[in-house]
Chain A
Amino acid sequence: MAESGATKQEILLDVQNVKKYFNLGHGKRLHAVDDISFQIRRGETLGLVGESGCGKTTVGRTLVQLYEADGGKIIFQGKDIVPMTRLQRKKEQLTKKMQMIFQDPYASLNPYFTVGEIIGEGLEIHKIGADKKERLEMVYELLDRVGLHKEHANRFPHEFSGGQRQRVGIARSLALNPDFIVCDEATSALDVSVQAQVINMLIDLREKMNLTYLVVAHDLSVVRYISDRVAVMYLGQLVEIGAVDEVYDHPMHPYTIGLLEAVPVADPDYEKDRKITMMKGEIFSPVNPRPGCRFATRCPYAAEECSSMTPLLQSVGGDHFVACHHPVR
């Protein structure tokens, strides 16, 4: 975990009212990301959690421009990247500065490429390094950095285990020396012992290369471990955001509370004494959502205004924001 002094540092990424809708035809519109605002400071790790279908992956993909935002601003290093054309983005070298690590280490590596080609492709496109030989040296160094060997450069992805593949994916994302990396469920496909290796490595790399992460994950324990701040999403909107310890120890949104209570803890005595108020029902469809608080239908504290008025993110002290009409104190 980084120092709390990070608060004074420059804002790397400023996300303002970003929206991403998918048209499904027949007048249906899926509100994957609906008016989201947050900031990420340089050197900081922001965790993004929520149930599947809440739009957390869409947020990550929109930030690295895999999706075009339908509204709002994404200000990266002082420039709004949403209205830019492809050419402008290329000029700004955004692909170099922003990278992504994907969830599935099997699907995200091209099976026809050797590991060396996968990692070196970005170097070649951006013409980094004088010649092939120099680029190869860089690939070797990257492999070394993620705990793989030189000899691995000539092998194909299928010759590796899941954990090793994920390391290749990480090496690829590091190749262009980025500032910002989106880790989309980067460790969820791995076994616990391998997951721990990869998490430790991500933390070491962050320190060494001065990286900024957005960690998208459904595993709340992993997010607590790796992040400085955490944002909780529900049906395309942020419901709570704040410093990790603050949100985990004093959650105020009923959804965050329910989510944290649902996580089983690997401590039998703690589990035995634990009182679990089960959150009822399941996440609703984000297609043409109704007005008001989207969590109201599952919320134990829902009052009248919750179904008519959309709650806005409001500070409940310092850096901790909650979008709820009746935050739990």
Chain B
Amino acid sequence: MEQKKERLIDVKDLEVSFMTANGEVKAVRGIDFQLDKGETLAIVGESGCGKSVTIQTIMRLNLEPPAVIKGGSITYTNSEKNIKVDITKLNNKQMQAYRGKEFSMIFQDAMTSLNPTSKVGRQIVEAIRKHTALSYMEAKKNAIELLGKVGLPNPEAVFSRYPHTMSGGQRQRVMIALALSCNPSILFADEPTTALDVTIQSQILDLMNTIKKERDMGIIFITHNLGVVARMADRVAVMYAGQIIESGMLREIFYQPKHPYTWGLLGSVPELKKSENKRLLSIPGTPPDLFAPPKGCGFAARCPYCMKACLDYMPGEYSITDSHFARCWLLDEECSTRITPPVGRAVNTGDSDDGVFKTKRKEN
């Protein structure tokens, strides 16, 4: 058994809505997850499933209103600094002490997230001086050191360059340097490599892994690329229509997935290695409208195994192991149909104890 790591973030039953002119969009509909120190949690899902809203809520970056935290709590703990706080209760002013210093974030598009009118060095120095009492020269020294650390050649010269003179990969490295400038304990990464070429993506992922090991940070990684998940994550949460429909350790999700949506997701990725089956599994249809989310399971309308109960009642969380749970009626003890995942690429069906696992409903 691994040593119990320190818990950084504990999200409980979080609900976030956007009040728009057309009505209420229930973007996040009651999610629970945790993040420990030195761990990478990957949140995967299609666009519009609420994954970005979730981490933006933890950073409190959503404009409120229209965003409203309807319920739940986000507890952030840092025993070294003696912090234990419910993020949802903070106001914007209080939140400023956490943003950048305790949490920081790298975005998908490094061009629009850096200030085009200011040299990159200055942007890093600004962040450092905002949160520490360092002088300009000390902050500059730190900034140059950071720029070197993220693998930019000739960091002194980079310090006085503007973002537009750099390539996408270089800008993303600057973003990472900026995010690390105040030594945060959690790094949020919202599709940090989606806009990059594979070779550069590989370099950036490698850099993030090195930094994580060095600083023992927690990383919450948002992506829709399952290959990136396999390379980076320790744990995975699969989101669909504002809910986490399955969550578990990396290998549990890839080799023993339990939710039909996860099966579809894994089956729809074309493989780089030679694969036997020729046709990609695809999920018919599109995600539900979150203006009026369905009463039952959000995936029911697209699910090939949909039962009557799925349409009328929301499935609870069924735990398969201590770390693995899924929200699906198929896992209920009273469900008579035992369905094995379709034969797909990463979906392992053969040897495992599929079909005989014991599920138990989580008590809330």
Q: Which residues of the partner chain A approach B345 to less than 8 Å between Cβ atoms? A: 266
Size of the chain A interface, CB-CB below 8 angstroms: 44
Q: Which of B260-285 contact A (CB under 8 A)?
A: 264-274, 278-284
Contact, CB under 8 Å: B230 / A271: yes
Which of chain A's residues has its CB closest to B169's CB? A282
Q: Which of A212-237 contact B (CB under 8 A)?
A: 218-222, 224-226
| Complexed CA–CA distance, A226 and B270 (Å) | 9
Using A192-B226, A197-B282, A270-B273 as known contacts, say yes or no to A278 and B231 having CB atoms under 8 A apart: no
Instruction: Please tell me if B337 contacts chain A, counting CB pairs below 8 Å.
Output: no
The proximity string for B residues 225-264 relative to A, scoring 1 for CB distances below 8 Å and 0 otherwise, is 1111111000000000000000000110011000000001
Contact, CB under 8 Å: B46 / A193: yes
Stretch at the interface among A7-15, A119-127, A137-145, A256-264: A256-264
Which of chain A's residues has its CB closest to B48's CB? A191
Contact, CB under 8 Å: A200 / B226: no
Contact, CB under 8 Å: A262 / B280: no
Give min CB distance, A13 to chain B, whole Å.
25
Which of chain A's residues has its CB closest to B275's CB? A225
Instruction: Please tell me if B356 contacts chain A, counting CB pairs below 8 Å.
Output: no
Instruction: Please tell me if A161 contacts chain B, counting CB pairs below 8 Å.
Output: yes
Contact, CB under 8 Å: A258 / B199: yes
Using A192-B46, A283-B197 as known contacts, say yes or no to A249 and B274 having CB atoms under 8 A apart: yes
The proximity string for A residues 153-183 relative to B, scoring 1 for CB distances below 8 Å and 0 otherwise, is 0000000010100000000000000000000
Selected contact of A200 from candidates B227, B229, B231, B280, CB within 8 Å: B280
Contact, CB under 8 Å: A264 / B274: no
| Complexed CA–CA distance, A199 and B268 (Å) | 10
Q: Which residues of the partner chain A approach B169 to less than 8 Å between Cβ atoms? A: 282
| Complexed CA–CA distance, A135 and B2 (Å) | 68
Q: Which residues of the partner chain A approach B202 to less than 8 Å between Cβ atoms? A: 261-264, 276, 278-279
Give min CB distance, B310 to chain A, whole Å.
18
Instruction: Please tell me if A269 contacts chain B, counting CB pairs below 8 Å.
Output: yes
| Complexed CA–CA distance, A256 and B230 (Å) | 22
Contact, CB under 8 Å: A220 / B280: no
Q: Which residues of the partner chain A approach B255 to less than 8 Å between Cβ atoms? A: 268
Q: Which of B208-240 contact A (CB under 8 A)?
A: 224-231
Instruction: Please tell me if A52 contacts chain B, counting CB pairs below 8 Å.
Output: yes
Selected contact of B272 from candidates A191, A226, A248, CB within 8 Å: A248
Which of chain A's residues has its CB closest to B229's CB? A266
Selected contact of A221 from candidates B197, B270, B281, CB within 8 Å: B270
Q: Which residues of the partner chain B approach A249 to less than 8 Å between Cβ atoms? A: 274
Instruction: Please tell me if B306 contacts chain A, counting CB pairs below 8 Å.
Output: no
Contact, CB under 8 Å: B270 / A264: no
Instruction: Please tell me if A312 contacts chain B, counting CB pairs below 8 Å.
Output: no
Interface of A is mostly: helix
Instruction: Please tell me if A1 contacts chain B, counting CB pairs below 8 Å.
Output: yes
Contact, CB under 8 Å: B254 / A267: yes
Give min CB distance, A85 to chain B, whole Å.
38
B255, B268, B274 pick with most chain A CB within 10 angstroms: B268
Size of the chain B interface, CB-CB below 8 angstroms: 47
Instruction: Please tell me if B62 contacts chain A, counting CB pairs below 8 Å.
Output: no
Contact, CB under 8 Å: B199 / A51: yes
Contact, CB under 8 Å: A193 / B199: no
| Complexed CA–CA distance, A278 and B202 (Å) | 7
| Complexed CA–CA distance, A219 and B201 (Å) | 12
Give min CB distance, B210 to chain A, whole Å.
11
Contact, CB under 8 Å: B272 / A218: no
Which of chain A's residues has its CB closest to B236's CB? A268
Instruction: Please tell me if A65 contacts chain B, counting CB pairs below 8 Å.
Output: no
Instruction: Please tell me if B19 contacts chain A, counting CB pairs below 8 Å.
Output: no
| Complexed CA–CA distance, A282 and B199 (Å) | 8
Instruction: Please tell me if B68 contacts chain A, counting CB pairs below 8 Å.
Output: no
Which of chain A's residues has its CB closest to B261's CB? A193
Instruction: Please tell me if B135 contacts chain A, counting CB pairs below 8 Å.
Output: no
The proximity string for A residues 233-245 relative to B, scoring 1 for CB distances below 8 Å and 0 otherwise, is 0000000000001
Using A259-B199, A264-B231 as known contacts, say yes or no to A224 and B271 having CB atoms under 8 A apart: yes
Contact, CB under 8 Å: B224 / A191: yes
Q: Which residues of the partner chain A approach B224 to less than 8 Å between Cβ atoms? A: 191-192
Contact, CB under 8 Å: B274 / A245: yes
| Complexed CA–CA distance, A163 and B46 (Å) | 12
Instruction: Please tell me if A195 contacts chain B, counting CB pairs below 8 Å.
Output: yes
| Complexed CA–CA distance, A193 and B48 (Å) | 13
Which of chain A's residues has its CB closest to B194's CB? A188
Contact, CB under 8 Å: A264 / B225: yes
Give min CB distance, A68 to chain B, whole Å.
28
Q: Which residues of the partner chain B approach A194 to less than 8 Å between Cβ atoms? A: 46, 282, 286
A224, A260, A267 pick with most chain B CB within 10 angstroms: A267
Instruction: Please tell me if B200 contacts chain A, counting CB pairs below 8 Å.
Output: yes
Contact, CB under 8 Å: B197 / A266: no
Using A161-B286, A278-B206 as known contacts, say yes or no to A266 and B268 having CB atoms under 8 A apart: no
Which of chain A's residues has its CB closest to B201's CB? A262
Contact, CB under 8 Å: B286 / A220: no
B167, B170, B199, B227 pick with most chain A CB within 10 angstroms: B199
Q: Which residues of the partner chain A approach B47 to less than 8 Å between Cβ atoms? A: 191
Q: Which residues of the partner chain B approach A278 to less than 8 Å between Cβ atoms? A: 202-203, 206
Residues of B within 8 A of A (CB): 46-47, 167, 169-170, 197-203, 205-206, 224-231, 250-251, 254-255, 264-274, 278-284, 286, 345-346
Q: List 14 other contacts, CB 8 Å, given A263-B202, A268-B251.
A: A51-B199, A191-B224, A192-B226, A194-B286, A220-B272, A248-B272, A263-B198, A264-B225, A264-B228, A265-B227, A268-B255, A271-B230, A278-B203, A282-B170
A-B interface, 9 closest residue pairs, ranked by CB to CB distance from nearest: A264-B227, A196-B268, A225-B270, A196-B282, A266-B226, A262-B202, A193-B283, A196-B280, A191-B46
